[in-house]
């Protein structure tokens, strides 16, 4: 019996030692060592500490980072690392520090309501024909038919200064986005002004796309380009980097779905097999499944005119067109555009070519001001635009 008791005691002692070996002591300001370095590296990975060299010293900055981690993870805010904090810190469900958001933009003033026609429950025109409202002074342009709603609103924040257009688009069957090429037989040729292309095609709304023709002309990697079911280019980047354009893609599908993909996620042939009718390559992805692309927080920080298309759900879309390179509007960073999109419920969004390529055309008129580059205000000529709707335009 004594031997059994001794064996049980030895076993209990081993279990206690093993448990003790797995526990970490409390770490606080002034402590040093490898455990401190592991904590700081993990805090850095979770964005509670900035990038840079890591020392083995637990200093005040470390304590503040630990306290912030504890607050966001529902732990007592002690600023010290006890066993509970250690386990949470290295768990798979540890809550990361969110990226900082941009300062909010000025709240817009209410616009004068137009004399609305009779509309159905979804907001489409109840009768035949079309309804058009153009208010350049107040910055509101509206088009309604039985299958299409286009509502363009010009907004501004003079403190930045910044001016932009928010274009809300709702489609009913069988309305779909389409592409207009200047020369479908020779894609990427015959450059024209986007408003001329849109006017000749009778587009209700048209806007510039990925400007693939420039890359073809310069003989650089073009990206995966499909127009109206035709593969124009299948050459793309191997990985989605942080250069502009990184050639991430947006694909249009017949049911009105828009999906975004990294540049080499699918080949052109695979996208056709999936049913894509048009694929645009510019990038980066701004949102995918409602989540902002982390790259926009750390890269793409230049202030420029911006242009991005997003889908809230099939049949509901948002186009953001940010003016820039002029006296009244500097432009903005891609983080700002991504956050605008997310606030409006966009799930999938891609950055299109901005700068002096950006053009927003309503019924044959370009609404955005010319961006200035090298002391000259102009909009680039292009070989294709994205369009929606058809309307009769007077000469």
Instruction: Report CA-CA distances (Å) from 202 to 166, 291, 386, 392, 394.
Output: 21, 35, 12, 6, 10
For the chain, the average pLDDT equals 93
The model's confidence at residue 108, banded by pLDDT at 50, 70 and 90, is confident
CATH of domain 38-98: 1.10.101
Cα 137 versus chain centre, distance = 30
Distance (Å, whole) CA 184 – CA 286 = 29
Classify strands 306-313 and 365-366 as parallel, antiparallel or unpaired: unpaired
* CB contact at 8 A, 350 and 280: yes
| Cα four-point dihedral sign 379, 380, 383, 384 | negative
pLDDT value of position 9 = 47
State the pLDDT at residue 23: 53
What is the pLDDT confidence band of residue 105, given thresholds at 50, 70 and 90?
Answer: very high
User: In this predicted model, which residue has the larger pLDDT, 195 or 3?
Assistant: 195
pLDDT above 70 as % of the chain: 93
pLDDT for 24: 58
Q: Answer for the pair 262, 251: CB distance below 8 angstroms, yes or no.
A: no
Q: Give me the percent of the chain exceeding a pLDDT of 90.
A: 89
Residue 101: per-residue pLDDT: 94
Confidence (pLDDT) at 53:
82
Asked if residue 218 has pLDDT above 50, the reply is yes
Q: How far is CA 182 from CA 179, 186, 191, 280, 308, in A?
A: 10, 9, 7, 16, 22
Average pLDDT over residues 164-190: 97
161-187: average pLDDT = 97
User: Cβ distance 271 to 251 under 8 Å?
Assistant: yes
- Write the pLDDT tens digit of every residue in 328-378: 999 999 999 999 999 999 999 999 999 999 999 999 999 999 999 999 999
pTM of structure: 0.87
Check pLDDT > 60 for residue 57: yes
Written as six digits, the tokens of 394 are 């007077």
d(CA 340, CA 105): 10
Give tens-digit pLDDT for 122-136: 999 999 999 999 999
- Residue 395 pLDDT exceeds 90: no
Do residues 380 and 211 make contact, with C-beta atoms less than 8 angstroms apart? Answer: yes
- pLDDT tens digits along 62-101: 999 999 999 999 999 999 999 999 999 999 999 999 999 9
When pLDDT is cut at 50, 70 and 90, the band that residue 10 belongs to is very low
Residue-level pLDDT at 109: 85
Q: Backbone phi, then psi, for 267, in 5-degree steps? A: -80, 165
Instruction: Verify cis geometry, omega within 30 degrees of 0, for the bond prior to 144.
Output: no
Asked whether the predicted pLDDT for residue 181 surpasses 70, the reply is yes
Q: pLDDT grade, residue 111 (50/70/90)?
A: confident
Residue 143 has pLDDT above 90, yes or no: yes
**Rounded-to-integer distance, Cα 282 and Cα 333, Å:** 16
Nearest CA to 181 among 190, 173, 172? 190
CATH 1.10.101 residue spans of the chain: 38-98
């Amino acid at each position: 019996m004594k031997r059994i008791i001794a064996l049980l005691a030895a076993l209990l002692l081993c279990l206690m030692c093993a448990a003790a070996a797995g526990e970490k002591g409390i770490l606080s300001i002034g402590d040093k060592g490898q455990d401190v370095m592991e904590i700081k590296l993990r805090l850095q990975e979770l964005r509670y500490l900035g990038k840079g060299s890591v020392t083995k010293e637990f200093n005040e900055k470390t304590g503040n980072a630990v306290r912030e981690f504890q607050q966001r993870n529902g732990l007592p805010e002690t600023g010290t690392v006890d066993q509970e904090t250690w386990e949470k810190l290295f768990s798979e469900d540890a809550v990361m520090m969110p990226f900082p958001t941009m300062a909010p933009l000025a709240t817009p003033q209410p616009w004068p309501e137009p004399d609305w026609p009779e509309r159905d429950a979804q907001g489409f025109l109840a009768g035949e024909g079309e309804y058009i409202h153009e208010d350049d002074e107040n910055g509101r342009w509206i088009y309604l038919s039985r299958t299409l709603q286009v509502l363009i609103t010009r907004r501004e924040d003079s403190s930045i200064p910044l001016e932009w257009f928010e274009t809300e688009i709702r489609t009913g069957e069988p309305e779909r986005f389409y592409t207009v090429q200047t020369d479908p037989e020779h894609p990427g040729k015959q450059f024209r002004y986007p408003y001329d292309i849109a006017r000749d095609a009778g587009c209700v709304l048209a806007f510039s796309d990925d400007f693939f023709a420039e890359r073809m002309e310069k003989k650089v990697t073009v990206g995966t380009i499909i127009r109206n079911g035709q593969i124009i280019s299948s050459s793309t980047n191997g990985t989605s980097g942080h250069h502009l354009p990184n050639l991430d893609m947006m694909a249009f599908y017949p049911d009105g779905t828009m999906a975004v993909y990294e540049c080499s996620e699918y080949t052109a042939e695979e996208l056709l097999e999936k049913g894509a009718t048009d694929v645009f390559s510019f990038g980066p992805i701004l949102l995918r499944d409602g989540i902002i692309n982390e790259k926009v927080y750390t890269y793409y920080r230049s202030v420029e005119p911006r242009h991005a298309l997003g889908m809230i759900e099939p049949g509901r879309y948002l186009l953001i067109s940010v003016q820039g390179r002029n006296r009244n509007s500097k432009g903005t960073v891609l983080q700002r555009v991504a956050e605008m999109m997310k606030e409006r419920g966009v799930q999938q969004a891609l950055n299109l070519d901005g700068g002096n390529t950006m053009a927003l055309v309503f019924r044959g008129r370009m609404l955005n001001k010319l961006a200035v580059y090298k002391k000259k205000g102009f909009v680039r000529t292009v070989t294709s635009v994205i369009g929606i709707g058809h309307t009769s335009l007077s000469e």
